[in-house]
Structure 1
Amino acid sequence: MDPRPTVQEPQAELPVILPKAPLSAAVPSQRHTSPLAGKHVLVVGINYAPEPTGIAPYTTGMADHLAIGARSVTVLTGMPHYPNWQLDPQYRFRLRSREVARQTGDAFDGVAGLGQHDGLTIRRLRHYVPGRQTALRRAGYELTFLLNCLTTGIEQRPDVVVAVTPALGGAVAAAQMAQRTGAKLIVVVQDLMAKAASQSGIAGGGKVAQATAAVERYALRRADLVAVVSDSFRSQLHAYGVPDERIRLLPNWTHIHASGLSKPDARAALGWPQQQFTVVHTGNIGLKQDLGNLVEAARICARRDAGVRFVIVGDGSQREAIRAQAHGLENLDFIGPLDGVRYPQSLAAADLLVVNERPGVGDMSLPSKLTSYLTAGRAVLAAVGPEGATATELRRTNGAAHLVAPGDPAALAASVLALRAAPGQCLEMGLLGRKYAEANLGREAAAARLDALIEECTER
């Protein structure tokens, strides 16, 4: 591979911003025992820090951990744009940029801390950012990232290429780069893109699902190993022709620490009312989340119980539409994305944490917020399909979550009011969630699984 950049790039190297509690903090002693010792790694994924939510914290933490043991890690990623689907003004006029993570020790302050490892280089590539989600616009988003990946020169020939989906364009580029260089290829599947096209409600998605499946099949069948964050993805991979012996489970880990504040103290820190029963939804406000269902549940609760307050924390392509639907509702508040300190406080301030999905969403993805919700130690109410990935994962918590049918605001409101009347049950659910998170979602376990995945792939 030509080590020279294919276009002129800025010479200044910028410090990269990483999220709180990266995966690398779990195993600081792996530098001398890593299966990547002396090897170069290329990570390809469109979402990366400083994006505060979604897939970015996991891709960032994974790259940070790989940098502990590898000779070098290069990340090909997009310009920050998620969850509001607007290009970060700092990157507005850049075609490409180069950032180097600088060693600063183990201290991290939310999304404002600096990376702690030498040898971690982030190459940001310009791509189209659709303000409104349609199948055609999404195709432009994928294609522009793919083309920029393929035309970007990499300084070090990689020994291992790790692709993260979405974006699908990044996985295709990673497959091409691995083939050209003879590198091992691992694809980490956070979302199934063909399923997303047909299930998420994007305009025209159903028509392009077949083409998306063909591209997704191409990338996944070329991987030496495919890692999935949920076992519910396996059946689709089998349908693509990926044999089970090449599929590994790599669950997401919790990338936040519980705030440590009591509910009253967390509400005081945020300036929230103390007496109301508070229902909180966090994360992306998009088509898949179908938060109009939550708005109508809040409307029902407003008529039945004045002591219930709903809070939607985050941003996304549907935020303004949802705000318009909620016009006049005094028991529903919208709050923008919070930093690494205030976000855990918002979870601690809740009586009930909500996951809401569009009817028909099944095994296409697993909400990244689940790890944070369970770590916070608060009861979870999930309006999701009974056979989907989210329901499957929450059943494993043995009682931390209550499931209700999606797209039914009356049922959602009834569950909210029933749990308000059962504070002891809410407390028990929260304790079960935290117990499950401590046993299954720790960074130590995730780091060990990632190391084992890398070792197996490099030895194949």
Structure 2
Amino acid sequence: MRILVIVNVYRPDLGGGVLFADFLEGLVDRGFTVEVRCAYPYYPEWQDKTGRNGLAIAESVEGRVRVRRFGLFIPRDAERLGQRLLHEASFLLSLSRVLPAPGEFDLVMAYCPLVGGLAYGVLASRSTGAPLWLNVQDLAAEAAASAGIVQSGGAGNMLLRIQRWLFNRAHVWSTISPVMRRRLLPLTRHDQPVHELPNWLHGSLRDAILEVAEVPRPLPTGPIRLLYSGNIGGKQDLLVFCRWLAGTDADFVFDIRGAGSGAEAIATWLAEHGDPRFSLAPLTDEAGLARGLAACDLFVVTEKAGAGDSFIPSKLLPAFGTGTAVLAVCDATSPLGTEMAEAGCGPLYTWDALESLAGLLQNPAKLRDVLPQWRAAAKQRGLRYDRDQIIDRYAALIRRRVAGEQSNE
């Protein structure tokens, strides 16, 4: 069974790229023939990391997956609407130079949030005559609005209409959390099944976490150790959180490791502010992330108010794998907030209730009392996201759809 997958990021890119590669290799292990069409590595730094981004199409085989890389416009300022639209359009145009032949594939899977890739998925599905599977990791139009990329209501409504039209060209939908599934169900126009298929801890990160499994995890006796690792953009509002945190007299060290459109603003603020409790470094490799999680007391995940849907549970999986308590600042009803409430793996604060967080950070004895419970809950929650079980479900659903069966399990 032959599958064509369309996604912008792929290994070695973060932001899902390593996970998507792990997924496709898992499908190959289950007897599928898989080709992925993606961009050259650029994310989350928004930089051409290989120096090869351009008109040429690169072909290789990685983990028995055929990989074809296409150039695209990489914004200098990813928070500007014009540059983001050019980014999307360039990927669509670049991909469209190569359309699959009739009957070449049995199924096309397109990942969202990159709408340009989804639009190409629609073309590829029609070209090859295969059903289209929409894999929603994030809602592009809503994400653009929440990150401040789209400022006007008219532009936002136009993007929402385009997104809905493209979504409804797909025959099967899937997404990664119950909250996102509930958001998607009202958008369907042709009774498409909407499957909930969460992400998981991919193999290489899982191996790195196993290396630190026996590292002692003492309870804090000195400064509370906070760790942030990931994308720094408009959706995280990390700078807002840092400014608030700097205004407290809590005894902490905040280790920030990240890249993205908002990283420079964090660096500038730190240079001007000079607070020794904060440090900023680039993203580390997976072994470095695993060591950082093992050494910290709280893994910080922030999400801008009104940001809506996001990469959940992906953001939390490394913490779950290491049994690290999570400090989340977000809307209580967001996918992140819902997951935190269900998991019981750490404190959850909304942006208008941060004074309560100040009380926790200023009371190390209280934190020592609750940390063991949060760590155990994080470890237990991670058991829900078993790689092989989830890929087995994908494989079974793909086979059913290609055979002409529908299932909304």
Give me the TM-score of the superposition, normalised by structure 2: 0.89
Please tell me whether residue 186 in structure 1 is matched to residue 124 in structure 2.
no
CA distance in 2 between partners of 1:276 and 1:81 (Å): 36
Counting only pairs closer than 5 Å after superposition, residues 255-404 of structure 1 correspond to structure 2 as 255=202, 256-257=205-206, 258-261=209-212, 275-301=222-248, 303-305=249-251, 308-327=252-271, 328-363=274-309, 365-366=311-312, 368-397=314-343, 399-404=344-349
Shift in Å, 1:391 = 0.8
For residue 403 of structure 1, what is the amino acid of its counterpart?
L
CA distance in 2, matches of 1:383, 1:236: 21
Q: Which of residues 34, 46, 49 in structure 1 aligns to 2:8?
A: 46
**Aligned residue type for 2:157:** Q
What runs of 5+ residues in structure 2 fail to find an aligned partner?
405-409
Distance 1:436 1:88, change over 3 A: same
Q: Which residue of 2 aligns with 1:99?
A: 60
417-426 or 162-171, larger mean C-alpha shift? 417-426
Aligned residue in 2 for 1:79:
40
CA distance in 2 between counterparts of 1:266 and 1:77 reads 40
Distance of aligned partners of 1:370 and 1:428 in 2 relative to their CA distance in 1, 3 Å threshold: same
- Specify every segment of 5 or more residues in structure 1 that has no aligned partner in the other structure, as ranges: 1-38, 102-114, 268-272
Distance 1:242 1:415 in 2: 47
Residues 130-152 of structure 1 show CA distances to partners (whole Å, capped at 9, x for unaligned) of 12121221111111001111112
Q: Give the counterpart letter for 2:39 in structure 1.
A: G
Q: What is the rounded CA distance, in whole Å, between the counterparts of 2:120 and 2:369 in structure 1?
A: 51
- What SS is found at the alignment partner of 2:235? coil
Aligned to 2:197: 250
> Equivalents in 1 of 2:352, 2:18: separation in Å?
29
Once the two structures are superposed, residues 39-91 of structure 1 have per-residue CA deviations (whole angstroms, 9 ceiling, x without a partner) of: 2210000011111x222122212211222244531111011111111111332
Structure 2 counterpart of 1:405:
350
Counterpart of 1:443 in structure 2 is 387
In structure 2, relative to structure 1, the CA distance for the partners of 1:300 and 1:241 (3 Å cut) is same
Q: CA deviation at 1:154?
A: 4.3
| Identical residues among aligned pairs (%) | 27
Q: 1:194 to 1:348 in 2, by over 3 A?
A: same
Using the TM superposition, give the Cα deviation of residue 411 of structure 1 relative to its aligned residue in structure 2, in angstroms: 4.3
Task: Provide closer, same or farther for how the CA distance between residues 430 and 207 of structure 1 changes in structure 2, counting only shifts above 3 A.
Answer: farther
Matched with 2:163 is 216
Counterpart-to-counterpart distance in 1, 2:402 and 2:285: 37
Distance 2:86 2:94 in 1: 12
What is the Cα-based RMSD across aligned positions, in Å? Answer: 2.5
399-408 vs 132-141, which deviates more? Answer: 399-408
Q: Which whole-Å deviations, capped at 9, do the CAs of 1:168-215 have from their partners, x for residues lacking one?
A: 111111111111211121111000112112222225365422222222
Matched residue type, 1:80 = P
Contact 2:323 / 2:375 at 8 angstroms: preserved in 1? yes
Query: More deviation in 419-428 or 41-50?
Result: 419-428
* Farther off after superposition, 68-77 or 377-386: 68-77
Aligned residues: 395
- Conservation of the 8 A alpha-carbon contact between 2:257 and 2:280: yes
1:289 is matched by which residue type in structure 2? Answer: Q
**Closer, same or farther: CA 304–346 of 1 in aligned 2, 3 Å:** closer
Distance in 2 (CA, whole Å) between partners of 1:410 and 1:356 is 16
2: CA distance, partners of 1:128 / 1:153: 20
Are the structure 2 counterparts of residues 406 and 205 from structure 1 closer, same or farther at C-alpha, using a change threshold of 3 Å? Answer: farther
Q: How big is each residue's C-alpha offset from its partner over 1:395-418, in whole Å with a ceiling of 9 and x where there is no partner?
A: 221x11211012665444334334
> Which residue does 1:89 correspond to in 2?
50
Aligned partner of 1:58 among 19, 23, 48 = 19
Query: Match of 2:72?
Result: 127
Measured in 1, the distance between the counterparts of 2:217 and 2:60 equals: 35
Q: Is the 2:213–2:322 Cα contact (8 Å) retained in structure 1?
A: no
Question: TM-score, with normalisation over the residues of structure 1?
Answer: 0.80
State the secondary structure of the residue aligned to 1:91: coil
The residue type paired with residue 219 of structure 1 is L
Listed one character per residue, the Cα deviations across residues 291-335 of structure 1 (whole Å, up to 9, x for unaligned) are: 11331243134x343xx1001112111101012222301000112
**CA deviation map 1:6-50 (0-9, x unaligned):** xxxxxxxxxxxxxxxxxxxxxxxxxxxxxxxxx221000001111
Q: Report the 3-state secondary structure (helix = DSSP H, G, I; strand = E; otherwise coil) of the residue aligned with 2:266.
A: helix
Q: Is the alpha carbon distance of 1:195 and 1:428 closer, same or farther for their aligned partners in structure 2, counting shifts above 3 Å? A: same
Cα distance in structure 2, aligned partners of 1:205 and 1:66: 42
Q: Letter of the 2:10 partner, please give it.
A: Y
**2:379 maps to which residue?**
434
User: Residues 351, 388 of structure 1: CA spacing in aligned structure 2 closer, same or farther, 3 A cutoff?
Assistant: same
For residue 135 of structure 1, what is the amino acid of its counterpart? L
Task: Give, in whole Å, the separation in 1 of the partners of 2:377 and 2:356.
Answer: 24
**Equivalents in 1 of 2:283, 2:2: separation in Å?**
35
The superposition leaves residues 242-284 of structure 1 with CA deviations (integer Å, 9 ceiling, x where unpaired) of 46651110111112222443797799xxxxx995321011100
Q: 1:93 offset after TM fit, Å?
A: 4.9
Amino acid at match of 1:425: V
Contact between 1:394 and 1:400, CA under 8 Å: does it hold in 2? yes
* 1:138-217 alignment runs, 5 A limit: 138-154=84-100, 157-204=104-151, 206-217=153-164
One-letter amino acid of the structure 2 residue matched with residue 187 of structure 1? L
Q: Residues 152 and 214 of structure 1: is their aligned pair in 2 closer, same or farther, counting only changes over 3 Å?
A: same
Cα distance in 2 for partners of 1:142, 1:420 equals 50
The answer on whether the counterparts of 2:81 and 2:150 sit within 8 Å (CA) in structure 1 is: yes
CA contact 2:330–2:348 (8 Å) conserved in 1 = yes
* C-alpha separation in 2, matches of 1:326 and 1:292: 10
2:407 maps to none
Distance 1:145 1:134 in 2: 17
